[in-house]
Amino acid sequence: MRGYAPTIVPQIIYEYWVVATRPLAENGLGLSTSEVDVEVSQIIDQFHLLRDERAVFDHWRRLVVDHAVQGKNAHDTRLVAAMQRHGVTHILTFNDSHFSRFSEIVVVHPDNAAGIPVI
Protein backbone atom coordinates (compact mmCIF):
# COMPACT_ATOMS: atom_id res chain seq x y z
CA MET A 1 0.00 0.00 0.00
CA ARG A 2 1.26 3.48 -0.87
CA GLY A 3 1.82 5.96 1.95
CA TYR A 4 1.58 9.74 1.91
CA ALA A 5 4.16 12.13 3.34
CA PRO A 6 2.68 15.18 5.09
CA THR A 7 3.87 18.07 2.92
CA ILE A 8 3.39 21.84 2.93
CA VAL A 9 4.31 24.75 0.70
CA PRO A 10 5.38 28.20 1.96
CA GLN A 11 1.93 29.65 1.34
CA ILE A 12 0.65 27.57 4.27
CA ILE A 13 3.19 29.28 6.52
CA TYR A 14 2.34 32.73 5.14
CA GLU A 15 -1.38 32.25 5.74
CA TYR A 16 -0.81 30.83 9.22
CA TRP A 17 1.39 33.82 10.11
CA VAL A 18 -1.38 36.23 9.09
CA VAL A 19 -4.02 34.51 11.22
CA ALA A 20 -1.75 33.79 14.20
CA THR A 21 -0.45 37.37 14.50
CA ARG A 22 -3.80 39.05 13.81
CA PRO A 23 -5.44 40.43 17.00
CA LEU A 24 -8.16 38.39 18.70
CA ALA A 25 -10.64 41.20 18.08
CA GLU A 26 -10.06 40.73 14.34
CA ASN A 27 -10.65 36.96 14.37
CA GLY A 28 -6.97 36.11 14.83
CA LEU A 29 -5.00 34.23 17.46
CA GLY A 30 -3.31 37.33 18.89
CA LEU A 31 0.14 35.75 19.18
CA SER A 32 3.40 37.68 19.12
CA THR A 33 5.75 37.36 16.19
CA SER A 34 8.27 35.53 18.38
CA GLU A 35 5.60 33.02 19.49
CA VAL A 36 4.56 32.40 15.90
CA ASP A 37 8.16 32.06 14.77
CA VAL A 38 8.64 29.23 17.28
CA GLU A 39 5.47 27.56 16.01
CA VAL A 40 6.57 27.97 12.39
CA SER A 41 9.86 26.25 13.24
CA GLN A 42 7.89 23.37 14.75
CA ILE A 43 5.66 23.13 11.69
CA ILE A 44 8.66 23.03 9.38
CA ASP A 45 10.19 20.28 11.51
CA GLN A 46 7.00 18.18 11.27
CA PHE A 47 6.28 18.50 7.55
CA HIS A 48 8.21 18.21 4.33
CA LEU A 49 8.47 21.80 3.00
CA LEU A 50 8.38 22.19 -0.77
CA ARG A 51 9.97 25.52 -1.71
CA ASP A 52 8.40 28.19 -3.89
CA GLU A 53 9.56 28.10 -7.48
CA ARG A 54 8.98 30.40 -10.42
CA ALA A 55 7.27 27.63 -12.37
CA VAL A 56 4.35 27.72 -9.89
CA PHE A 57 3.16 30.95 -11.51
CA ASP A 58 2.68 29.30 -14.91
CA HIS A 59 0.56 26.54 -13.33
CA TRP A 60 -1.43 29.14 -11.34
CA ARG A 61 -2.15 31.31 -14.35
CA ARG A 62 -3.37 28.38 -16.42
CA LEU A 63 -5.62 27.19 -13.58
CA VAL A 64 -7.23 30.57 -12.86
CA VAL A 65 -8.03 31.01 -16.56
CA ASP A 66 -9.14 27.40 -17.20
CA HIS A 67 -11.39 27.36 -14.12
CA ALA A 68 -12.53 31.02 -14.29
CA VAL A 69 -11.27 31.64 -10.75
CA GLN A 70 -12.17 35.00 -9.22
CA GLY A 71 -11.42 36.84 -5.99
CA LYS A 72 -10.09 35.10 -2.88
CA ASN A 73 -10.32 31.71 -4.58
CA ALA A 74 -7.10 32.62 -6.40
CA HIS A 75 -5.25 31.92 -3.11
CA ASP A 76 -6.51 28.34 -3.02
CA THR A 77 -5.67 28.02 -6.70
CA ARG A 78 -2.08 28.90 -5.89
CA LEU A 79 -1.95 25.89 -3.57
CA VAL A 80 -3.17 23.68 -6.40
CA ALA A 81 -0.56 25.19 -8.71
CA ALA A 82 2.20 24.43 -6.20
CA MET A 83 0.86 20.90 -5.86
CA GLN A 84 1.00 20.42 -9.62
CA ARG A 85 4.50 21.85 -9.86
CA HIS A 86 5.75 19.44 -7.19
CA GLY A 87 3.72 16.40 -8.24
CA VAL A 88 1.51 16.37 -5.14
CA THR A 89 -1.84 14.71 -5.88
CA HIS A 90 -3.83 14.92 -2.62
CA ILE A 91 -4.80 17.80 -0.36
CA LEU A 92 -6.12 17.38 3.19
CA THR A 93 -8.38 20.31 4.04
CA PHE A 94 -11.44 21.31 6.03
CA ASN A 95 -12.29 23.59 3.09
CA ASP A 96 -12.95 20.79 0.62
CA SER A 97 -15.56 22.85 -1.24
CA HIS A 98 -12.85 25.42 -2.08
CA PHE A 99 -11.03 22.80 -4.14
CA SER A 100 -13.92 20.89 -5.70
CA ARG A 101 -13.49 22.61 -9.08
CA PHE A 102 -10.04 21.06 -9.56
CA SER A 103 -10.32 17.59 -11.08
CA GLU A 104 -6.52 17.60 -11.26
CA ILE A 105 -6.23 16.80 -7.51
CA VAL A 106 -7.83 14.57 -4.91
CA VAL A 107 -9.46 16.50 -2.06
CA VAL A 108 -9.67 14.74 1.31
CA HIS A 109 -11.65 16.15 4.23
CA PRO A 110 -10.14 15.21 7.64
CA ASP A 111 -13.37 13.38 8.54
CA ASN A 112 -12.60 11.01 5.66
CA ALA A 113 -8.87 10.63 6.30
CA ALA A 114 -8.97 7.64 8.64
CA GLY A 115 -6.95 4.80 7.26
CA ILE A 116 -4.85 6.89 4.87
CA PRO A 117 -1.30 5.56 5.29
CA VAL A 118 1.29 8.18 6.25
CA ILE A 119 4.97 7.59 5.65
**According to CATH, what is the number of the domain 7-112?**
3.40.50.1010
Q: What's the mean pLDDT in 101-116?
A: 89
Confidence of residue 1 (pLDDT cuts 50, 70, 90): very low
What residue segments make up the domains of the chain, in order of their start? 7-112
Is the pLDDT assigned to residue 12 strictly greater than 60? yes
Query: How does DSSP assign 16-74, residue by residue?
Result: HHHHHHS-GGGTS----HHHHHHHHHHHHHHSEEPPP-THHHHHHHHHHHHTT--TTHH
Of 21-25, 53-57, 66-70, 76-80, where does mean pLDDT reach its minimum? 53-57
pTM of the model: 0.84
pLDDT digits (tens, 9 = 90+) for 57-72: 999 999 999 999 999 9
